[in-house]
Amino acid sequence: MKVDLGQTLVVAVSATALFDMCEADEVFQKAFGENPETAVENYRAYMLKREEDDLADGTAMPLVRALLGLNQYQKAGDPPIVEVVVMSRNSPETGVVVFNNIRRRKLNISRHAFTGGESVVPYLEAYDVDLFLTTNVRDAQKVIDAKTCASAIVQKPPQESNLEENQVRLAFDGDAVLFDDSSEIVFKAEGLEGFFEHENEKQDEPMPEGPYAQLLRSISQLQKRLPFNVKSSPVRIAIVTARSAPAEMRVIKTLRTWGVYVDEVFFLGGLDKSKILKAFRPHIFFEDQDLHLEEAAKYVPSGKVPYKSESEIHKYLP
C-alpha cells in the first residue's frame, strides 16, 4: 500500500547527528589517510567489532525524541504527525550499531537510508523530507543550493542543557533562515543606519522566503493536527533575531502574510542571543552566523544554516 506523507512532518537525520560517532569517523579518516585502498576494509572490521556498543546521544537526539512524542496525538486512521528517517553513508553492514542503538532506545523509527559511502542528498526527495540535519558540511550545502528542503549542520552537543520535556521547542533566526539574505546584505553593505532605513521603508512589503520558510509553514500545519489550542500546544516556536525597532514591523507583517503563528519573538538589537535561548530552552536553534552560533551551541542544541553558494553575501564574509 502506498503511504501518503503529505500531512506529515518528515525529518531526516544523519546517524552522526543522532548519535555521537566521532570516534568511528576518526578511525576512518586516519585509515584513509594512511592507505585509501584498505581504509574501507579496516573501517568495516572496526565497526563489526562494535555492533553491540552503546552510542552516546548526538545533538539531534533530544529533538528527535520530542518530535516522535507528538505521534501520541495521532488519530486512528490518520498518517503519522511526525516521521523520522535516519540517513547514513555507512553500508547496511557497518550500520548495525546504529540499528541496535535505535532499538535499545525504543525510538519509533522505521525508515532508513544507508548508502555505502555515497551522499544521501539525492534520496531526500524520495523520502519527502522537510528538514535534513547532518554533520556533513558539503551535504548541507548541496541541499540549501538545490532548495530541496531546510537543512542545517548540527554543532557539537551543548556543554549543559535543560530542555523542556513536555513540549517541542524550536527557535529560529530571521534573516537568511526564515527570510532570505537580502536584508542582511543591505546591513553588511550599508551599515545599521542604511539597514534601518531600508526595512522601515519596506515594512509593508513581505520579505522573500528563506530556506526555512516552508518548514515553518509545515510546522504550522502540524499544529493544526494537534488537539490543543495555541496556548496549550505541545509545540512552541520562537524567533530570536538581532533586529530591533524600526526593523521589527517587517518581520511581524511578513509572518502575517504567510499565515503562520509564532509564539514568541525576541528583537535583541545586538544583545547576546545565548541568554534568551537559555531561558527559552529550545530543542534546536537554527542560525546562519557563527558569531551567534558559537555561544548559543554551548547551552542549546544548535544547527548552522549555510548561505547559498551563489549568494552575494559571501563578498562581505571574512
Active-site positions read: 173
Distance of CA 69 to the CA centre of its chain: 18
Q: What is the CA radius of gyration of the chain?
A: 20
Asked whether the CA dihedral 43, 45, 46, 48 is positive or negative, the reply is positive
C-alpha cell belonging to residue 173 = 533566526
**Distance (Å, rounded) from C-alpha 236 to C-alpha 51?**
37
**Distance (Å, rounded) from C-alpha 182 to C-alpha 198?**
11
Backbone angles phi, psi at 87, to 5 degrees: -125, 140
**Distance (Å, rounded) from C-alpha 163 to C-alpha 281?**
5
**Distance (Å, rounded) from C-alpha 299 to C-alpha 66?**
18
CB 219 within 8 A of CB 66: no
Helices and strands: H and E segment counts in the chain: 11, 10
C-alpha cell belonging to residue 280 = 527559552
Q: What share of the chain is helix, strand, coil (3-state, %, to 5)?
A: 40, 15, 40
